[in-house]
Amino acid sequence: MERNCNQETEFLFTGLTDHHIYQIPLFLLFLAVYLITMVANIGLIFLIWVDSRLHTPMYFFLRYLAFVDLCYSTVITPKMLSDSLTESKIISYIGCGVQVFHFTVFVVTEGFLLATMAYDRYVAISSPLLYSVIMSPKLRVQLIVGSFSIGCVNGMTQTVNMSYLSFCGSKVIEHFFCDIPPLISLSENDSTINQIILLASTILFGLSSGVIVFISYIFILSTILRIRSTESKHKAFNTCTSHLTAVCIFYGTALFVYLKPSSKDSKPEDKWAPVFYTVVIPMLNPLIYSLRNKEVKDALRRVISKNISFNTVN
């Protein structure tokens, strides 16, 4: 971050609410959400790692999705939790830049991993006999490396973009973390170029991955409609519905924030919409992809039964 005001070295967050009566309940709520996020994602990564029956393309991608959810939730939530218990919600310029970089890396990587998983499901349903051939180990690695590479490009672009902003007036960010739109709004210099870069990145990285996801699910649903078995069709629809719910929340709230023109006036939805894609989605993903998945539940039972047997023998 560029510092033209040498006497200032930090930003101040306003947090989610100005009402002190809500701070403790919100702290407890988001603490519970964060703990569930940590346990669910770490547990899913461990389960996929130890159970050989889950060493398939779908769970290969799911393991990395859990890792990304773990990372970008941790970039935001711990700081938000600590701020909810203090009056002065301070973050340094460097800390803000670090948060911007890591968040923009992981949120874009998340989008492309969701697109990769949607494509994977389409191949599995439309070409089950060729599935393992099409989703070869080489292609899987390329898709993962590609997703993280695009995320890193976005992170570096947005961080450099923000470094040219100057903050000589108010240091109060009307938000609960260093997100790009409120930083642009806070800047006193001409931010037209910054807004153009943000919009271009949103369209190039956000909309493109979203389009891949939804086109894949359109083909998936059309394939499901051709299934003759009512039970199989119902099961597939339930799975797709839960996946699409999480995807719609993620893309809907994120695109609402980043496609909306920047404004100096903060609105309540400007703070609460990001809660869904920063805090809620990292918790929902492992629950949706695991608790509603028979293979994952069976793997969990096998791991538990092995531990019980081991403890009984000893």
Q: What is the pLDDT of residues 66-118, one digit of tens each?
A: 999 999 899 999 999 998 888 788 999 899 999 999 999 999 999 999 999 99
Band (8; pLDDT cuts 50, 70, 90): low
Residue 230 clears pLDDT 60, i.e. is over it: yes
Residue 162 clears pLDDT 50, i.e. is over it: yes
Band (309; pLDDT cuts 50, 70, 90): low
The domain limits of the chain are 10-308
For residues 15 and 254, give the distance between their C-alpha atoms in angstroms, rounded to a whole number.
Answer: 19
The two three-digit tokens of residue 232, written as one number: 């199989």
Band (2; pLDDT cuts 50, 70, 90): very low
Band (159; pLDDT cuts 50, 70, 90): very high
The rounded percent of the chain whose pLDDT value lies above 90 is: 40
> How far, CA to CA in Å, does 127 sit from each of 135, 223, 248?
11, 10, 26
Q: Report, as an integer, the average pLDDT of 178-203.
A: 87
Tell me which of 189 and 39 has the higher pLDDT: 39
Q: What is the pLDDT of residues 111-141, one digit of tens each?
A: 999 999 999 988 888 888 898 899 999 999 9
Instruction: Indicate the average pLDDT of the chain.
Output: 85
For residues 8 and 133, give the distance between their C-alpha atoms in angstroms, rounded to a whole number.
Answer: 58
> What does pTM read for this prediction?
0.89
In words, the CATH class of domain 10-308 is mainly alpha
